[in-house]
Structures are given as C-alpha cells and as structure tokens.
Structure 1
Amino acid sequence: MTSMPALLGMHHVTAIASDPQRNIHFYTGVLGLRLVKVTVNFDDPFSYHLYYGNEVGNPGTILTFFIWPGARRGRQGTGQIVSTSFSVPQSSLSYWVGRLIEHGVSYDGPVSRLGERVITFRDPDGLALELVGYAGTEHRAGWGGGTVPAEHAIRGLSGVMLWEEDYDQTARTLTEILGFQHIAEEENVTRYALATDAGIGIPGTRIDVRRASGFWTGKVAVGTVHHVAWRTATDETLLAWREILKAQEFNATPVMDREYFHSVYFPEPGGVLFEIATDPPGFTINETVEQLGTQLQLPPWMEDSRAEIEAALPPLSLSTMPAKEDV
C-alpha cells in the first residue's frame, strides 16, 4: 500500500459529560483550555457539543464533549479508550501538582511510564486524564489567555490508551493499514506512533494499547471517551482513506460534514470508534479568533430551528473561573 496517504497525528478526542456548566468550569477554569466552540451534536441537535483547545483550536489540541444530562455513568473496559493524555512542558509538572491540589482534584504521580513522567487524575464525570511532561513540547502553542500562565499551559493532546481483548487485530490495523509504527513497550502496554516531519513519537501522534484479555467490556456513556479522530490534510485524502477502509472491509461511514471539518468514522477491530478528519476549514469560519466560544453556533442547515433548539438547551455562563464546589 505504498500510495497510502499519511495520517498527520491526532485531530481530536470526543468524550461524554453530564453537566455543561460544570464541564466548562473544569476545562477552562482548572485546566486552562480555551472554549473554542459552543455548538450542538449534529446527530442530536437538542444537546450541546463543546470544543476546547488552544487559541484557535488547532487540530491536535482539541478535546470535545457531547453533553448528555441525566445519562448514566459509563464503565471503563476493553474495546474502549480508557485515558486521554495532554502534553505539558516537563518543567511544569510541579506547577500542575500544585494547581490540582489548589482546586481539590485528586491525582496520582508524577510516575514514570515509557520513559516519561505522568500525572493522572479524573474530571468531575470520572473521565480519566493524564498530563505528560515532555521536554520538546515548547514549540507547540498553548492557550496563554486563560487561567494558566502561558509557560505552563497545556500544549495539546499527547495520546490515548486503548484496552483491547484481542490485541493482535488492533496492532495489525494500526501498523498495516493506518501507518503507525511500533516505538516502545513496557509490561503489557505497547506504544505506536505516526511518523511526521517533526519526528516519530512526539506528542499528538501516539496511541498506547494495553493487552487486557479477560477484562470486562467497556460501556460508553458519561465519563468515557466516545471516539478519537486522526488528521488528514484535505478532502481528497479523506476520500482516499475511505476507499482504503472500504477495500479492507471496514464499516466506514460516508463523508460527514461537521462544518469545522469533514470526516469518516469506522470501528477498529476491538470496537473502538476511530474517525479520520480534515484539518480545514477550522473553527474561525463563523467566528473571529477573538469571539471563539462566546455564542451558540449552529450549522446553516439548523438555523431555521434555532429558536426551538435554544429553548431546549440549558442556559450557560461562559465564565472560566469555577467555584471550588464546582470542581
């Protein structure tokens, strides 16, 4: 498959939360990310879809949430992404320990894993998160206009970890179809990464797979990851990827118009939902950089239903400063 287009790294991770206001308070107020888009789930327009990232929401910095008020908690297990990692400067780990303590967030670490120092913690819905200290992350732009000083700001996504019942099928998909390379292994965790112009194994290109044979199956609901998306450059390469997936008998969707990107979804053999998404057009197509995340944005095909949608959604305050009891 020598003509296979290259995936460029992580585009975004989408998880599920229960309370939109609490979610905004935690991710902007505690973690210092920028709320770059307030919209709705295009497949369920009476629920919020919130996007966080750096100043402009560059691909590779984005964590998004479907908001499911009143839904049950999910369960971590096999066939699931069980943790999402952000990269921070290696010198900032002590700052982050202090910040988590200040906001009453329980944490573990820093501990060593695959040669890196990692802090683990959970958000208010129980979503498993990590901060990975990385010495070469200074070239990545964080969001310096929020609650965290620019020198300590989260620089973007580092990677995700999958738990798999049948590790071999997932490994073959990553290496033989999607273009990942095996770069490290520790106990029952194997790390794969995409090769980029900046090198291999850098944050935002990595996926860890844990052999978890015999463990219970995960259930996707509140406090779990819904899917992970990988970057491609253009609509043309997205179509090429869809043809590759179809040829390999993956259950790939048609190209979906998500307004800020176009994408194709497919489950990998272990059941984890993957997405391939285009870098363009980005989040500034309907808001200026200064206005990002300040108003509810609907795609053009939903504008006629705006009044009905707004009436069904809970009101939001977009303040980034949480009260202690909110986190």
Structure 2
Amino acid sequence: MRLKGLHHISSLSANAEKNLAFYRNILGMNLVKKTVNQENTSNYHLFYADQQGSPGTELTFFEIPNLAAKRDGTNRVSSISLLVPSIESLTFWKDRFTRFQVNHENIQEINGIPSLPFEDPEGHRMVLTPDVHATLDVTNQTDDIPQEQAILGLGPVTLVVQYLEATSQVLTNVLGLTQVRSYEKNNTSVHVFEMSDSGLNGQVHVEQQKDTAKSREGRGSVHHIAFRVETEEELKQWVERLENEGFQTSGFVDRYYFRSLYFREPNGILYELATDGPGFDIDEDLASLGKKLSLPSFLEPDRKEIEAKLKPLRT
C-alpha cells in the first residue's frame, strides 16, 4: 500500500470553451477526454494530459457555468505545479506568456528551484517547475511548442491550512509520505512531504496560515487532488484502512476510466485515491482521444438527453 505520486488534479471553471482555448492552445496540453460531470451531467468535465492520458500528467476541470469568483484564504490548495524539461524552458514560457498576455510573475526560486508562477484567465494559480531528472515522456509538443520546452506533467502541489499538525499527521501516518525539508516563502515556513521514488511528481508542500479567514471555492480554485494507487485491490485496502482510522469516505467509486476513493483531511481539503487503470483508451483509440463526447457505459443509454443539455464545444 504505497502511493505512487500524483494521479490528477481537478479544478473548477465557469467556461469550458475558454478553458479549452487556454490549456490546449496556450499551454499545449492534450484534451484526452471530453466527458461530463458524473454527478451533474449537464456540465462538461475536461481532462488534459499527455497524448496517452498517463496518470501523473492529468489536469481536469469541472465546468460550472456562472460560478462565482473564489475567495482565497486558508484550508485550500493554493497552487499546483506543471513540470517542464529544463531551467532554460522557463525563459521560453515567460516569453510566450508575455506574447499571449498571460498573467505571470518573474522567474524566482521556490524550494531552491527556479520556477515561473502564472495564472490562467480565471485566476487558477500554477507554477512551471523544471524537472531535469524527469522520467515522463514529453508528448505535449505542438507546432509552436517544441519538444524540449513542452509540459511533462504534474509537479508539487501546495496546500495552505489552518492547522499544520493535523495535515502533517494524515500525510505521514496515514498516507505514508515523508517530511523531507522546509523552506521559507514570504517569511513563512513551507513544509515539504514526499512520496517515495516519485520525485517532484510526488511532493505536497504545506504552509500554515492559522489566523487567515477560510477560503471559498469558486472559478479558478482546485476542487481536489488525487494520488496514484496501482490496483483496485489495493484501493479497496485503502478504503478499509481509512475507515478504520475514523475517516468518513466515499467508499469504492467506479469512475469508469479509473476507480476512486474520496475523503477529507482534518482541514477540509478533499483527497482522492485513484487507480492507474483502466485508462482513457477504454472507449477511444489513443489517436482519437478527446475528439468526441465520451460517456461511461452507465451513462451511455442517456446520451441523447445529455448531449441536448450541453453547449457544443469546439475541439
């Protein structure tokens, strides 16, 4: 029972079409699955990843039209990282962000690594982080984003919490991460937790903001973070383990493309454990991923009604 790194990160958007334009056209990520929110089939759920939809490269968005703006505060995922192949890549991306008027900061050190913070058009906060020891294949290149600059996958995720010790106990004693170091950010200590043998793809950074007002979800905020579990059998063991630890969980959930388990840690941040398979090619060829609306088999009988409620999305 060992977590293998980040599986995916799911966030909120008020406009799927504008979201697609940014993540596909500006960041060069692949739309590998155009589907719907299984809890509200009136809205899109978009998955971006490498060309194979590999676990560890997936960034997903739930569309909620007319969603209010988020309110920053404590008890939230404050930023996520996307890995790029080299420090030199950051200059390419800084110039690209300037050209396309993407809100970004200067290149700066975060945890001792030169990094480039930026935001998408809805205020979703991200950081480009070079991973010179990356083992992920680079398969996000486009006509104007060469292979040596293209996004690799997910890097460290940063949490801001009210009670550091509570989150630390869950990450280490329950989920099996190791606290490896800390660094200073705006005169505050940020604590780094790591999944073994996962590199930057297996890091969670935690900052305590005890006296800050609590955050409120909205457009541009992260909904949950998901960690990789290898098999369904192992996931079922995690259900038992977490419930024995006193957590209320979702139990075993079939998401069709993977199997899941959800629970909230004491500061209210939503975690998911997700299996590596079956994968996004269960209902589409790899060469055709994201080209059409995909529905899990249990929603397929309702396709006509579901498509009638969705605004067509140009892909």
Q: TM-score of the superposition, structure 2-length normalised?
A: 0.96
Question: By how many angstroms is 1:114 displaced?
Answer: 1.0
Q: How does 1:140-289 map to 2 (within 5 A)?
A: 140-146=136-142, 147-187=144-184, 188-196=189-197, 202-289=199-286
Q: Does the Cα contact within 8 Å between 2:5 and 2:202 map onto a contact in 1? A: yes
Of 65, 68, 74, 2:70 maps to: 74
Give 1:211's aligned amino acid: Q
Q: Does the Cα contact within 8 Å between 2:82 and 2:129 map onto a contact in 1? A: yes
Q: Does the Cα contact within 8 Å between 2:68 and 2:218 map onto a contact in 1? A: yes
- Residue of structure 1 equivalent to 2:291: 294
Question: By how many angstroms is 1:303 displaced?
Answer: 1.6
Of 120, 134, 137, 2:117 maps to: 120
- Residue of structure 2 equivalent to 1:59: 55
CA distance in 1 between partners of 2:200 and 2:49 (Å): 15
Q: Does the Cα contact within 8 Å between 1:259 and 1:299 map onto a contact in 2? A: yes
Gaps of 5+ in 2: none
- Residue of structure 1 equivalent to 2:36: 40
Question: By how many angstroms is 1:293 displaced?
Answer: 0.4
Q: How does 1:95-110 map to 2 (within 5 A)?
A: 95-110=92-107
CA distance in 2 between partners of 1:233 and 1:140 (Å): 17
Of 7, 12, 18, 2:8 maps to: 12
Runs of 4+ in 1 over 2 A off after TM superposition: 142-147
- Residue of structure 2 equivalent to 1:50: 46
Q: Does the Cα contact within 8 Å between 1:60 and 1:156 map onto a contact in 2? A: yes
Query: Identity, % of aligned pairs?
Result: 35
Question: By how many angstroms is 1:144 displaced?
Answer: 3.9
CA distance in 2 between partners of 1:68 and 1:143 (Å): 29
CA distance in 1 between partners of 2:224 and 2:137 (Å): 24
What secondary structure is seen at the aligned counterpart in 1 of 2:288? coil
- Residue of structure 1 equivalent to 2:90: 93
Question: By how many angstroms is 1:109 displaced?
Answer: 2.2
Q: Does the Cα contact within 8 Å between 1:32 and 1:143 map onto a contact in 2? A: no
What secondary structure is seen at the aligned counterpart in 1 of 2:138? coil
CA distance in 2 between partners of 1:156 and 1:53 (Å): 7
Question: By how many angstroms is 1:76 displaced?
Answer: 2.0
Deviations 1:50-69 (A, max 9, x none): 00000111000000000011
Q: Does the Cα contact within 8 Å between 2:30 and 2:140 map onto a contact in 1? A: no
CA distance in 2 between partners of 1:101 and 1:36 (Å): 27
Give 1:275's aligned amino acid: E
Q: What is the root-mean-square deviation in Å for CA atoms of aligned residues?
A: 1.0
Gaps of 5+ in 1: 319-327
Q: Does the Cα contact within 8 Å between 2:103 and 2:120 map onto a contact in 1? A: no
CA distance in 2 between partners of 1:128 and 1:288 (Å): 32
Q: TM-score of the superposition, structure 1-length normalised?
A: 0.92
CA distance in 1 between partners of 2:290 and 2:310 (Å): 16
Q: Does the Cα contact within 8 Å between 2:192 and 2:206 map onto a contact in 1? A: yes
What secondary structure is seen at the aligned counterpart in 2 of 1:310? helix
Question: By how many angstroms is 1:142 displaced?
Answer: 2.4
